Amino acid sequence: MLARFVPAARWMRDYDRADLHGDVTAGVTTAVMLVPQGMAYAMLAGLPPIVGLYASIAPLVVYALLGTSRQLAVGPVAMDSLMVAAAVGAMAPAGSDHAVALALVLAAMVGTIQLVMGLMRLGFLVTLLSHPVISGFTSAAAVIIGVSQLQHLLGFPMARSRHVHVLLFDAVTQLGRTHAPTLLLGGFGIALMLGLRRWAPKVPAAIVTVAATTLAVLAFELDAAGVAVIGSVPAGLPDWTVPVVSWAEAQALVPSAFAIAIVAFTEAISVGKAFATRNRYRLDASQELVAIGAANLAGSLTGGYPITGGFSRTAVNASAGARTPLAGMITAALVAVVLVLFTPVFRLLPKATLAGIVMVAVFGLIDVATLRHLWRTRRSDAAALLVTFAATLLLGIDSGIATGVVFSLALFVLRAARPHMAELGAKPDGATWRNVCRHEDAAACRDVAVLRVDTSLFFANIDAVVGRINALVHERGDAARAVVLDCSAVNDIDSSAARTLVESAGDLARAGVELHLARVKGPVRDGLEAAGIIGTLGAERCHEDVAAAMAALAAAPRPAYTTETAPRLPRSNEAARALRQQHAHA
C-alpha cells in the first residue's frame, strides 16, 4: 500500500547493491553540473544565485521519494527561470527580498496546481501541448534567454522586458557602453565551455570554467576593474520559511503559475519518458505530477523557486550510471555540503561566467532540425511551430504558448472538418474494395457510389461528408441508384452528425437513391439507432461489409422511380437544407 503512494518504498526495498556504484557516480557528476547551473538559472530568474542552490536540495529528495523516473534529474532549469523572471520581474526589483518572496509564493502555487492535477489523475492533459508547439516555444525561449543574458556579458544594465525585440534594440543602442574586461572574460568562459564539450566531453566544463574565471578575477583583480561578481554568499542550509505577499500580488501570479505548472510538467514528462523508454520501464504521468508538485512545495518552504526535470542534467545523470532515484538524493546531499562548507569560494565568481553557462546551456534548445523535418513531412505542423515561435518572441512567454495551443487546436478542428474520404472501387476479384485514387485496378461502380469515411463523424465534419456523397451521386447522373457508406473507420458519431445523416438519407430517397451502411461498429450503430436512422433505412440496409452491400443491391430490383418525378439532388449540403425546407412547406 505504501509503495502505491510513495514509489521509493518499492525501489528501496528491492535495491540491488550492484546499482550503488552507478548511483553514486551519477549523483556526484550531476551535483558538479548542478551547482553552477543552479546559481546561473537563479540569476536568470532575477533572484540571488543562492536561491538556485536552495532549490536544489529539498525538491530533489522529495522527487526521489515520490517520482517514478529512475533517471530524471530535477532542479532549476532555464525555461522555468525565464518564466519566473517574467512573472516576478514586473512586480519587484531583480535580486530583492521581495522578488524572492514572490518567487517562493509562485513555487507554492505551481506545486499546488501540479499536486492537485496529479491527485485528480490529469496527467493526460499534457497532450494539449503538441511537439511542434513545444519545439517552437522552447526555441523562442532559448533566444529570449540568450538575449536576456547579454547585459551580464556586455557589462551594462539593459531594459527589463519579456520581448526580445525590446531587449535587442536596447543592447544595440548601448553597445558603446560595453565593458571590455567583462566581455573578454565572458567570451573566454563561453569558448572554454564549448571547447571542453567538443574535445573533452567527460570533463565538467561548467566547474572548470567557474574555477578558471574566478582565478582570473582573483589574479588580475578584475573586480576592482569593474567586472561584476556574485559577492558574499550566505553559508548554511536554508531555513524553513512561509513566504508572505499581498493578496493582490498573489492573484497577479496565478496565470503565470498555471503556465509554469503546465510547461514544467511537459518538459519533465517528455524527458522522463524518453529515458524510461530507453531503459525499458514505464512512467506514471499522474504520479509524476504529484512528485513534481510536492517537490515544488518543498522548495517553496526551503527558500527555492519553481523547478522541474531538465534534459541536459538528466542526460548527464543517465550517462553517468544512474539506476535509481538514489542518485538524486546523493546530488542533493552534495549541494547541501557545498552550502555549508564552500560558499566563500563563490565570492569572486563573475556574473559573466554564469551568463555564459546559461547561454551555452540553451543553445541546444533552438530546434532547427524539427522545423526542417516538419517542413518536409507536414507543413501544418511546421506552421504551428513557427506561429508559436513568433508569438513567444513578440508577445512573451505566457501569451506565446497559449497562442501555440490555440493554433494547434484550431488546426485539429480544421483537419477534422475536412476528413479524408475515399471513393472505393472493386478489385478484379470482385470481393475487395479499395481507394480508386490509389489502386489503378479498382473500378468504381457505375450506378452505386461507395464512400469510405476515415474519421469519426461529428458536427464539424458531417457537412463535408454529405457534400461528398451528393457530389458522387451527381457524377453518376440518372444512373445513380445507391450510396454505400463504408463506416469501418468511424469510431463515434455525435447527435448532430446522426441527425444530419438522417436528413441526408431522406434527400437521397427523394432523388431515388438508396443509402446503405457497411461495417458499422457497435457504438456507432447504437448512436444511429438512437437518432432513428436505422429505423428510417431499415435493418436490411446495414451490411457486414461493402461486398455484402453490393450483393444485396445486385439481388434487389431497382425501384420504379423516374427522373421526371424525382427531384434533382443538391450538390452541396447547404442546397440540401433548402430542399428540405421546401418539402417541409409543401
Coil, strand, or helix at residue 483?
strand
Q: DSSP letter string over 120-138?
A: TT-GGGGGGS-HHHHHHHH
Which amino acid type is present at position 470? Answer: N
- Which of the given ranges, 507-516, 548-557, 561-570, has the highest pLDDT on average? 507-516
Per-residue pLDDT reduced to its tens digit, 571-586 = 555 554 554 454 444 4
Residue 585: the pLDDT is 43
Question: How far are the Cα atoms of 28, 119, 191, 297, 506 from residue 322, in angstroms, in the given order?
Answer: 10, 28, 29, 25, 66
- Judged against a pLDDT cut of 80, whether residue 163 lies above it is answered with no
How far is residue 309's CA from residue 517's CA, in Å, rounded to a whole number? 51
Q: φ and ψ at 419, to 5 degrees?
A: -70, 155
The burial class, CB within 10 Å (0-12 / 13-18 / 19+), for 25 is middle
| Beta carbons of 296 and 110 less than 8 angstroms apart | yes
Encode 419-482 in three state secondary structure.
CCEEEEEECCCCCCEEECCCCCCCECCCCEEEEEECCCECCCCHHHHHHHHHHHHHHHHHHCCE
Which amino acid type is present at position 384? Answer: A
Per-residue pLDDT reduced to its tens digit, 378-408 = 888 999 999 999 998 888 777 887 888 889 8
- Judged against a pLDDT cut of 60, whether residue 569 lies above it is answered with no
Which DSSP helix (H) or strand (E) runs through 518?
A: strand 514-518
Helix ranges (H only) for 245-396 are: 247-278, 285-301, 311-319, 326-341, 351-363, 368-377, 379-395
Distance of CA 413 to the CA centre of its chain: 18
Closest CA to 418 of 391, 384, 380: 380
Q: Which three cell numbers stand for residue 380?
A: 501544418
In what order do the strands lie in the sheet containing 514-518? 433-435, 421-426, 448-453, 482-486, 514-518, 542-543
Which amino acid type is present at position 261? Answer: A
Name 36's Cβ contacts closer than 8 Å, sequence gap at least 6.
206, 207, 209, 210, 353, 354, 357
- Local confidence band at 566 (pLDDT 50, 70, 90 cut-offs): very low
Residue 584: the pLDDT is 44
Q: What percent of the chain lies above the pLDDT cut of 70?
A: 93
How far is residue 78's CA from residue 365's CA, in Å, rounded to a whole number? 10
Report which DSSP code applies to 18.
Answer: G
Least reliable range by pLDDT among 184-193, 289-298, 355-364, 543-552 = 355-364
Coil, strand, or helix at residue 372?
helix
Per-residue pLDDT reduced to its tens digit, 468-521 = 999 999 998 888 999 999 999 999 998 889 888 888 988 998 888 999 999 999
Per-residue pLDDT reduced to its tens digit, 302-351 = 999 999 998 778 888 888 888 999 999 999 999 999 999 988 988 999 99
566544463: which residue's cell? 205
Closest CA to 285 of 261, 306, 265: 265
Per-residue pLDDT reduced to its tens digit, 194-246 = 999 889 988 888 889 999 999 999 999 999 999 999 888 888 888 888 888 89
Q: Which three cell numbers stand for residue 263?
A: 510547461
Which amino acid type is present at position 107? Answer: A
Q: What is the mean pLDDT of the chain?
A: 87
CB-facing half-sphere around the CA of 95: CA atoms within 13 A:
8
The residues with which 482 forms a beta bridge, in sequence order, are 448, 514
CA geometry: angle 355, 359, 364, nearest 5 deg: 160
- Local confidence band at 562 (pLDDT 50, 70, 90 cut-offs): very low
Which amino acid type is present at position 264? Answer: A
Which DSSP helix (H) or strand (E) runs through 399?
A: helix 397-417
Closest CA to 287 of 68, 70, 73: 68
Least reliable range by pLDDT among 68-77, 495-504, 553-562 = 553-562
End-to-end CA distance of the chain: 70
